[in-house]
Amino acid sequence: MSVTITAQIVDVASLIPSTIPPAEEEKLFLPRVFEQRDVAGFDRDHDHDWPLPLESDVFRSMLYQFNDLYVARYVWPEGIDGDTTGRHSGIIPTDKVPDTIKWENALRHTETVTLGRKSWKYANREEFESCMTKQDHILRTLTMHLYFRTHATDSLWISCTTQAKQYYFIGGKQYASRPESAVTARLQSQRIPILSFTGWFPGQTWSEFVGEILAIMLGQLACNFRHEVQDQEVFLVGFFGCQIFIARGFFPLSQIQRVHAKGCSAAETFPLEFSRGYDISRKQDWIEFTQNLQRLLRYLVNGKAKVGGVRACLQANSAST
């Protein structure tokens, strides 16, 4: 099935509506390494900069893994500018990152993609399972840590599931997608995905990459739509190269019902919106991304987002108390 995806980078105010008064700000969770440095590197000369308190262990471990993505062979086989000796420093100047894996350079505004019956099936994907697993662990760790430190509520019980398949129908034909993992809300015995995580691997084309994002969104959409028949928003957090982004898809009710029953028309278009890419080993990017992720979590869990599963869970839990 071929469809057209339009993609654009938008500001956070457009991507994630604010649900708090302008005078309030999201909380700042800053690893102590950033109190001394603007870039979190992990070479032997600077490792002592890392603090020891337990509260920092989560961020420390996560940033170590992020550093591994920077210096791993599957990102730069010959190192930076062919220098394999510098691979251990973990401090890579922004202007040395190859343009082909910079998020803003890679994004194409219009792309025709083919939705496979199984979105995760690529010829060389299995070679990079460790890469994908590491990306997913970083996203899950940061998201759940921020959630439980800021927005945890008794009215919505959430957790993470890993590589759970999600099914959707286009013109009566079944398709399957499989995010690396997903934040799920519990409704009785059901786990409803409300925020999916996806990764990137070297050699993946833009068409494959954005096509998989759409497939994951459609799978998440199907899981939520059955709980509330209305327009739906779908959010996703992902990696591209060594940058993290937030994505949003908006799906009108009329399009959902038509595509489900009749399939995609020749002119079918799915508009997707993205944040800029964030390199969380850099202090300012860490601050912006973690605050924007908190903003997204707040928007999801308070029921303001058009996510059918969240609203169904909030209503059911409210009725039972």
pLDDT digit string, tens, across residues 17-61: 887 766 566 778 888 778 778 887 654 444 444 444 434 567 777
- What count of Cα atoms within 13 Å lies in the side-chain half-sphere of residue 49? 17
In the chain, the percentage of residues whose pLDDT exceeds 90 is 48
Distances (CA, A) of 240 to 29, 50, 164, 188, 221: 23, 27, 21, 35, 22
SS3 48: helix
Please tell me which residue, 90 or 163, carries the higher pLDDT value: 163
H-helix or E-strand containing 60?
helix 57-71
Q: Is the pLDDT confidence value at 303 over 60?
A: yes
| Statement: residue 237 has pLDDT above 70 | yes
Q: Alpha carbon of 254 to those of 57, 167, 168, 213, 250: distances in Å?
A: 47, 20, 16, 21, 12
Can you tell me whether residue 315 is helix, strand or coil?
Answer: helix
Give the count of alpha carbons within 13 A of 232, CB side only.
29
Q: What is the pLDDT of residue 22?
A: 62
Position 70 pLDDT exceeds 70? no
Where helices occur in 151-195 by DSSP H, the ranges are none
Percent of the chain with pLDDT over 70: 82
Residues in CB range of 115: below 8 A, 6 or more apart: 1, 2, 3, 170, 175, 211, 214, 215, 218
What's the whole-number average pLDDT of the chain? 83
Reported pTM: 0.88
* Count: domains in the chain: 1
Instruction: Please give the single-letter amino acid code of residue 309.
Output: G
Residue 163's pLDDT is 84
pLDDT at res. 165: 93
Q: What is the pLDDT of residues 104-158, one digit of tens each?
A: 888 999 999 999 899 888 777 888 888 888 899 999 999 998 888 887 776 788 8
Q: How confident is the model at residue 179 (pLDDT cuts 50, 70, 90)?
A: very high
Provide the residue range defining the domain that includes 96: 2-319
| Most trustworthy range by pLDDT among 31-45, 88-102, 287-301 | 287-301
Where is mean pLDDT largest: 6-10, 61-65, 154-158? 6-10
Q: 89: which DSSP letter? A: T
Cα 26 to Cα 131: distance, rounded to the nearest angstrom: 31
Q: Cα–Cα distance between 178 and 118 in angstroms, integer?
A: 8
CA dihedral 105, 33, 237, 299 (to 10 degrees): -120
For residue 320, which phi and psi values (nearest 5 degrees)?
Answer: -90, -5
pLDDT for residue 269: 95
φ, ψ (nearest 5 deg) of residue 83: -95, 100
Environment class of 18 (CB within 10 Å of its CB; exposed 0-12, middle 13-18, buried 19+): middle
Burial class (CB in 10 A: 0-12, 13-18, 19+), 174: exposed
